[in-house]
Amino acid sequence: MAAEPGPAPGQQGESGALALALHTSSPVLGLALAPLNPTACQPAGCTAQSRAVPLGRSLANGLHRALLALLPANQWPRLKRLAVATGPGGFTGTRLGVVTARTLAQQLDLPLHGIGSFLLVARRQARSYPGGSVLRVEQTLTRRGVISGFYRVIPGKCRVEEVEPPRLHSEAPAATRHGAVACLDAAVDAAADSLQLLELAALAEAAGECPDWRPVLPLYPSAPVDRP
């Protein structure tokens, strides 16, 4: 859910800590910025700002400009936590987003959360299913197969946990694999999914987590792995 139009937190002269999210796994760039607290990205009283910028093949040239428009470089020291979508998604775009996030985290000495784009899709739609339901998120690749990931809805929390990470299959897995009750298209909602990245980062902050940037890598299944 995108925030209402208005000045971004980085343009209001505030001095508080900020969290930044980048989602580059689709042709639409997703950026989001918010004060670092667990309620900043909730629909009620949301103080986050998100941007969905359709850059397509211009992502390499447009990412830096879009980032500066959301948060000027002189405000970057206010950043205290970063989150990035790690894919699956477009190969070049996903890699560019992850590299940008890793560079910022290294240079500013910040925690970096790498979160799968399929998990964000499942989490966004989890409230439509009862707790305990397993959701399959799927993307078809022309002449290559199907990428499928499985996620379980956590009862009472509108959150999900990964049951099986996204893998490339030569054919779609059985519809009832892991007891899945629904198959969701892996379509990205750049603005909404960027806000989810921020929310997950804020929850991790509240839990005292401080992940290092080094293990955060793009996820792009490239060879079919078929399991029974």
pLDDT digits (tens, 9 = 90+) for 158-175: 689 999 999 999 888 888
| pLDDT > 90 fraction of the chain, expressed in percent and rounded | 68
CATH number of 9-117+187-206: 3.30.420.40
**18-23 and 28-35: which strand pairing?**
antiparallel
Main-chain dihedrals φ then ψ at residue 61, nearest 5 degrees: -85, -30
Predicted confidence at residue 104, as pLDDT, reads 97
- Separation between Cα atoms, residue 134 and residue 23, nearest integer Å: 24
Average pLDDT over residues 131-156: 92
- Separation between Cα atoms, residue 151 and residue 149, nearest integer Å: 7
- Higher-pLDDT residue of 143 and 118 is 118
Average pLDDT over residues 61-74: 95
Q: Given a cut of 80, is residue 73 above it in pLDDT? A: yes
Q: Where in the chain is the domain with CATH 3.30.420.40?
A: 9-117+187-206
Helix (H), strand (E), coil (C) string for 140-204: EECCCEEEEEEEEEECCCCEEEEEEEEEEECCCCCCCHHHEEEEEECCCCHHHHHHHHHHHHHHH
Mean pLDDT score of the chain: 87
Predicted TM-score (pTM) of this structure: 0.87
Q: 119-185 has which fold?
A: Nucleotidyltransferase; domain 5 (3.30.420)
Residue with tokens 């079919």: 224
Q: What residue spans of the chain are helical by DSSP H? A: 59-70, 91-108, 117-125, 190-206
